[in-house]
Amino acid sequence: MYRLTKLQRMHELFCARRTPITIDGLMQELGCSRATVLQLTELLRDRMGAPLEHEGAEYHYRRPEADDYTLPAMWLNAAELDTVLQLQALLGPIPPGPLAQALEPLRRRVARLVDLQPGVSGSAWRRIRVSEPGARRVQPAHMAAIAQAVLSRLRLRLEGEFIAGEYSPQYLFHCRGRWLLDAWHHGAEARRTIALEEIAAAGLLDKPAVDIEEDEPPFACLF
């Protein structure tokens, strides 16, 4: 998908320009290496039949052929389509704020990739939706503390019915619309899988988490 996006951008540059552009100029415009620029120009000229010419290190589209040239249709394969749909579903519902601003360039790149599909308008993709039946709402404060504990390898103090105690978090995973915490309960000396919506309060402790070694985490929801 990376090459596809860069290739489309290169094509647009050549279409818009009436004067040649150097390899260094292409590197700057595309934000990629010299080797990538050379690979893309070869792909554009030799495999996609673009009217691309070069004199030394300067490249340009041959006129008037360029005025009628369009890139061949480039369909996403099944795996790529699934990835794009998942990305759109994840990036769409992010509320306004610093995170949304940071992810906006990625969202635009995904939308741009969708627009490359032949015969499909951007608005048509709104008819494909990814839903998660039974998704549970998690308190943001709990999610932040738990995620920090998992990544920083710190223990947690959890409160809630039947789950109160001190835990060493092992994994945080999302399954069937629910966030689940896999953790070691120090009081019971046993491993527990806890749904985050069941947690009434979560606090970080200034103690290192204990790593429980197993071949695979007990992701029971996957079976």
**Chain segment 200-216, per-residue pLDDT in tens:** 999 999 999 999 876 55
Query: Do 151 and 218 reside in the same domain of the chain?
Result: yes
**Which tokens sit at 121?**
């308008």
Mean pLDDT of 123-129: 61
Query: Do 10 and 58 reside in the same domain of the chain?
Result: yes
CATH code for the domain of 13: 1.10.10.10
Query: Band of the pLDDT at 130, cuts 50, 70, 90?
Result: low
Name the residue with higher pLDDT: 33 or 70.
33
Range of the domain at 8: 2-68
CATH code for the domain of 192: 2.30.30
**Are the C-beta atoms of residues 204 and 148 closer than 8 Å to each other?**
yes
Mean pLDDT of 181-195: 93
**Chain segment 3-28, per-residue pLDDT in tens:** 777 888 888 889 888 889 999 999 99
Query: Band of the pLDDT at 223, cuts 50, 70, 90?
Result: very low
Instruction: Encode 23-51: b = buried (16+ Cβ within 10 Å), e = exposed.
Output: bebbeeebebeeebbeebbeebeeeeebb
Query: Do 20 and 89 reside in the same domain of the chain?
Result: no
Q: Dihedral of the CA atoms 117, 110, 44, 16 (nearest 10)?
A: 90
Query: Do 64 and 88 reside in the same domain of the chain?
Result: no
Number of domains in the chain: 3
Mean pLDDT of 194-199: 90
Mean pLDDT of 148-173: 93
Helix, strand or coil for residue 171?
A: strand
Mean pLDDT of 80-94: 68
Query: Band of the pLDDT at 117, cuts 50, 70, 90?
Result: low
d(CA 213, CA 187): 18
**Are the C-beta atoms of residues 41 and 10 closer than 8 Å to each other?**
yes
